[in-house]
Amino acid sequence: MNITVENLAPCKKLVRVELDATAVDSAFDAITKDYQKQAALPGFRPGKAPRDMVLKKYGAEIKDEAKRKLIGDNYRKALEDKKIQAVGYPDIEEIQFDRGQSLIFAATVETAPEFQLPDYKGLPAKIETKSVTDADVEKALELLRGQHAKFDTVARPLANGDIAVVNYTGTCEGKAITETAPTAKGLTEQKNFWVETTDNSFIPGFAAQLIGAQAGDKRTVNVDFPADFVTKELQGKKGVYEVEVVEVKEKVLPPLDEELAKKFGAENLEKLKAGVRTDLENELKYTKSKAIRQQVVQALLEKLNFELPETAVANETRNVVYDLVRQNTQRGVARELIETQKDQIYAAAAGNAKERVRLAFIVSRIAEQEKISATQEDVIRRAQSLAMMYQMPFDAFIKDLQKRNGVNELYEQVLHEKVLELLEKNASITETTPA
């Protein structure tokens, strides 16, 4: 076999393969014999039909199978021989193929990028020095009390901590809010909407202007939408709401006692407090770990910039676009509006995809260097965790995974997690005092 390789572009090569006629004829002969063993032709017992009759009936199929086998096998051998790490599927061009002739084909192959790993141990990360305090535990217990709160309708003016049940319509710059923000239907008009009179409830400043109102009262409420408001079209703008108070409800919390503890599955109040503290400590540990990983990954990406295979980026871009469209659809964004924003969605997805693909190659190279692997047991544990998260029976989750060829994706996720764990463990961490 004769192999030549031409570099077409970064991450793209042309691999030309020539196989002599003897090897081609051997492949034809072997496949013809297989057909002879299985062929059932009139007047002959299975496997006893003459070669020339088998070739006459199945000649086209034999030729196609010989071509598939010869090109497939020798393409893989060529990559191994030239130590080429292909990404995705090749574009194969058949140049010459038939009995008695040499096989010549060319494969345009996208390849993994070539780069040198920088020092990935000791990457910098900053975290705030924090610990779970008694005050944190008390605050969490108050939230648990709130889950079992009662709301009693009262005939008095609205006070801090109460719930105002209101009807409202909102405008921005003299127009219905949906004219400025088409997806913000809930901000434009609501009936029997519950607003808690706290600083962070609904829109900042909204609830405070209802204090003192009673059922049946009407008020005009002016708000300033914050610069980081969840609806981007309203950020930094002013809004005006015409509000009718329907009811005033008083929030009544249950006592923090043994009975409440049992409602949350704790043996007693002390066990509930201990469980809350453990949960908060685990949450803090997770938050710190996530912050460290985000910082070391960003530091690593800043150290490396290399060309990427076009197909890998295009495939990942499609995945990101799909996720963005699905998320917007779930939020109630109309298909027509998504269509008008498709250029912005694609541009944002392309940038995100490039970073994800680049990180995937870096993680793979680190795993190879550190001899990190994902075992079958690792993947099973990951699958069990995902099945629980999606509230699916494990067997059903596995069948769905196999149906969409997602098992390899789980292996990649496990490998990714192990490499990030290594980066976090070896990070150079600076602790800072909370502001």
> What pLDDT is attached to residue 104?
96
DSSP codes, 206-253: TGGGGTT--TT-EEEEEEE--TT-SSGGGTT-EEEEEEEEEEEEEEEP
Instruction: Report the helix count and the strand count for the chain, using DSSP H and E.
Output: 13, 12
Give me the mean pLDDT over the 368-392 stretch.
Answer: 91
C-alpha 169/C-alpha 187 separation (Å) is: 8
C-alpha 250/C-alpha 162 separation (Å) is: 5
Beta strand 150-153 with 124-128 is unpaired
Distances (CA, A) of 331 to 49, 172, 230, 324, 342: 66, 21, 12, 11, 16
Task: Kindly report which listed range (5-14, 86-95, 253-262, 319-328) carries the lowest average pLDDT score.
Answer: 319-328
Position 182 confidence tier, pLDDT thresholds 50, 70, 90: confident
Q: Which of 178, 223, 184 is nearest to 201 (CA)?
A: 223
Neighbours of 89 (CB within 10 A): 10
Task: Kindly report which listed range (136-145, 281-290, 336-345, 366-375) carries the lowest average pLDDT score.
Answer: 336-345
Q: What is the pLDDT of residues 36-76, one digit of tens each?
A: 887 777 777 777 778 888 888 888 999 999 999 999 999 99
C-alpha 189/C-alpha 318 separation (Å) is: 36
Q: What is the pLDDT of residues 411-429, one digit of tens each?
A: 999 999 999 999 999 999 9
Give me the mean pLDDT over the 318-333 stretch.
Answer: 77
| Alpha carbons within 13 A on the beta-carbon side of 17 | 28
Q: In this predicted model, which residue has the larger pLDDT, 54 or 101?
A: 101
**3 state DSSP class of 258:** helix
> What pLDDT is attached to residue 332?
67
Task: Kindly report which listed range (21-30, 147-156, 199-208, 316-325) carries the lowest average pLDDT score.
Answer: 316-325
**3 state DSSP class of 17:** strand
Position 345 confidence tier, pLDDT thresholds 50, 70, 90: confident
Position 339 confidence tier, pLDDT thresholds 50, 70, 90: confident
Position 400 confidence tier, pLDDT thresholds 50, 70, 90: confident
Query: Does the structure show a pLDDT above 80 at 145?
Result: yes
C-alpha 217/C-alpha 245 separation (Å) is: 6
Position 88 confidence tier, pLDDT thresholds 50, 70, 90: confident
Which residues, 6 or more positions from 10, have their beta carbon under 8 angstroms from its beta carbon? 113, 307
Give me the mean pLDDT over the 7-31 stretch.
Answer: 94
The residue written with tokens 């994902």 in the block is 374
Structure tokens at 133: 């305090």
Sketch out the chain's domains with CATH numbers.
Answer: 2-110 (3.30.70.1050), 150-252 (3.10.50.40), 267-432 (1.10.3120.10)
Query: Does the structure show a pLDDT above 90 at 331?
Result: no
Query: What value, to the nearest 5°, has the Cα angle with vertex 58 and ends 57 and 60?
Result: 115
